[in-house]
């Protein structure tokens, strides 16, 4: 039996790597590997099982919030939000060590709360802040680094597309996942700003001269356009946290609010509306297709009994929960060098989640652990999407962009250590929500 499991695992890994390396779509690769596994190693009726699995995994109610949150981000992405954000935030941070570099962190944090996507967050803030900071002679490596690191907040601060995918895959409440990401997200912003401030204090000669102080009332006036966005974020996250709305209902509120903001700000035209709608549809279809095909692979892997065997093998090693988490973290970081986040979750869930459950680790907490690892994968070459975004914005080579992002990768690792040592950072708000 064990020989069959080992052979099946090798066939799974080998076929999947071959297909992905050949440039085949991730979804089709997953579906093909599932069919190969079922055809070679089981006597199950492959055709009917694949058909029913594709159907069952394509209409889950939890997935309905996904296209809505994506659409909300696309609407605001095409509005004047990023320009308003820079003008509104800059006066408040101009006296801090690091000065306007903090706009990248705070701007990405705000954008993350309306976009749910790392690449969209990074691109939206980067397009406006890179020219502004270059014009003021801020060091380019810190401009790129703050954007690369802070862009990953789009995965951690709710609403997060990755969290929706994990919640559906692991059968964990998406609302509780959203709330669990709030404190780690705020802590990560503080860590990014802390590192940026320390760097600027250690390298004062590389920073431009301080700009003239802005009176308090002038700061408030410049920030006036951020108030509607803050209200939109508060209504979306607050309605979920307060138990007033489900994630899907909150996403609907978000879309309506985003359309109103874009219309009032003059950024809503027929062309921008259709562009945003079609972009959201393409992204949503891609993610849903990956999830549906991954479900087929999960069924095949379950029929071959790989998850239970692997969980038993890990259990026999008598690893502590910390050792198991360290092993999984290294494994996911390696995967993150070659795959994007959604693919990592759907590829590994069928094997990883039984092991985690067997070790007694809370799946809600583990979801945030996974999200932070996927955030780190966004800034690791060769397939770091934030690196590609910043390369296109700055025109610099990928090596320069990667070097600038490295310190912020280690800040993410620090956050990973902190939530492992102090899990209450993740679990406190969800417990309050249910308590």
How many Å apart are CA 109 and CA 278, to the nearest integer? 25
Does residue 98 contact residue 196 with C-beta atoms inside 8 Å?
Answer: yes
How many Å apart are CA 47 and CA 33, to the nearest integer? 14
Does residue 174 contact residue 247 with C-beta atoms inside 8 Å?
Answer: yes
pLDDT computed for residue 9 by the predictor: 75
State the Rg of the chain over Cα: 22
pLDDT computed for residue 2 by the predictor: 57
Q: Which two tokens stand for residue 232?
A: 């939109």
Q: Which two tokens stand for residue 308?
A: 């239970």
pLDDT computed for residue 165 by the predictor: 87
Per-residue pLDDT tens, the chain, 435 aa: give them.
556 777 877 887 788 778 877 877 777 888 888 888 888 888 878 888 888 888 877 776 667 777 887 788 778 777 776 667 777 887 888 888 988 899 889 888 887 877 666 777 787 778 778 888 888 889 999 999 999 999 888 888 887 888 988 998 888 988 899 889 999 999 999 999 999 999 999 999 888 887 777 787 888 887 887 788 788 878 887 887 777 887 788 888 888 988 988 888 777 888 889 988 998 888 778 777 877 887 787 788 778 777 667 666 766 777 788 998 998 898 888 777 766 677 778 777 877 888 888 888 999 999 999 999 988 887 887 667 788 778 877 888 878 888 999 999 999 999 999 999 999 999 999 888 765
Does residue 22 contact residue 32 with C-beta atoms inside 8 Å?
Answer: no
Sign of the CA dihedral with 19 first, then 20, 25, and 29 last: positive
Which positions ≥6 away from 71 have C-beta within 8 Å?
255, 258, 276, 277, 280
Does residue 99 contact residue 200 with C-beta atoms inside 8 Å?
Answer: yes
CA distances from 103 to 14, 82, 395 (A): 45, 11, 21
Q: Which two tokens stand for residue 83?
A: 């320009």
Name the DSSP class of 200. Answer: H
Does residue 177 contact residue 367 with C-beta atoms inside 8 Å?
Answer: yes
Cα-based angle 110, 114, 120 (whole degrees, multiple of 5): 90
Helix (H) or strand (E) holding 369: helix 363-377
Phi-psi region of 117 (alpha: psi -120 to 50; beta: other; left: phi over 0): beta
The pTM assigned to this predicted structure is 0.77
Torsion, CA 85, CA 87, CA 93, CA 94, rounded to 10: 160
pLDDT computed for residue 426 by the predictor: 95
How many Å apart are CA 63 and CA 296, to the nearest integer? 17
Nearest in space to 120 (alpha carbons), one of 89, 86, 81 = 81
How many helices and strands, by DSSP H and E, does the chain display? 23, 0
Q: Which two tokens stand for residue 4?
A: 């069959």
pLDDT computed for residue 201 by the predictor: 93
């Amino acid at each position: 039996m064990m020989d069959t499991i080992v052979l099946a695992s090798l066939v799974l890994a080998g076929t999947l790597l071959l297909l992905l390396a050949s440039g085949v779509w991730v979804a089709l690769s997953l579906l093909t590997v599932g069919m190969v596994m079922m055809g070679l190693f089981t006597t199950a009726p492959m055709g009917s099982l694949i058909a029913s699995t594709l159907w069952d995994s394509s209409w889950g109610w939890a997935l309905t919030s996904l296209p809505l949150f994506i659409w909300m981000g696309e609407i605001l992405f095409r509005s004047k939000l990023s320009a308003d954000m820079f003008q509104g935030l800059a006066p408040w941070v101009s006296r801090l060590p690091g000065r306007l570099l903090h706009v990248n962190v705070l701007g990405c944090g705000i954008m993350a709360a309306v976009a749910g996507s790392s690449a969209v967050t990074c691109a939206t803030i980067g397009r406006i802040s890179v020219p502004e900071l270059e014009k003021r002679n801020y060091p380019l490596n810190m401009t790129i680094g703050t954007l690369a690191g802070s862009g990953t907040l789009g995965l951690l601060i709710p609403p997060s597309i990755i969290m929706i995918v994990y919640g559906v895959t692991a059968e964990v409440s998406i609302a509780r996942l959203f709330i669990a990401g709030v404190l780690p997200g705020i802590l990560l912003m503080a860590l990014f700003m802390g590192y940026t401030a320390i760097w600027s204090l250690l390298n004062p000669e590389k920073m431009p001269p301080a700009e003239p102080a802005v009176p308090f009332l002038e700061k408030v006036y410049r920030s006036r356009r951020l108030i509607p966005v803050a209200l939109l974020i508060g209504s979306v996250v607050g309605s979920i946290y307060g138990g007033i709305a489900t994630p899907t209902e909150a996403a609907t509120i978000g879309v309506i609010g985003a359309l109103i903001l874009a219309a009032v700000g003059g950024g809503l035209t027929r062309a921008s509306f259709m562009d945003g709608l079609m972009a959201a549809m393409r992204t949503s279809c891609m993610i849903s297709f990956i999830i549906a095909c991954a479900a087929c692979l999960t069924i095949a892997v379950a029929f071959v009994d790989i998850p239970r065997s692997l969980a038993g093998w890990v259990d026999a090693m008598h690893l502590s929960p910390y050792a198991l988490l360290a092993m999984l973290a290294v494994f996911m970081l390696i995967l993150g060098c070659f795959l994007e986040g959604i693919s990592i979750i759907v590829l590994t869930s069928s094997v990883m989640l039984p092991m985690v459950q067997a070790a007694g680790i809370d799946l809600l907490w583990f979801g945030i652990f996974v999200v932070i690892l996927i955030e780190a994968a966004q800034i690791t070459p060769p397939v770091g999407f934030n690196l590609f975004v910043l390369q296109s914005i700055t025109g610099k080579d990928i090596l320069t962009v990667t070097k600038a992002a490295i310190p912020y990768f280690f800040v993410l690792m620090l956050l990973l250590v902190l939530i492992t040592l102090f899990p209450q950072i993740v679990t406190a708000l969800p417990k309050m929500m249910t308590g």
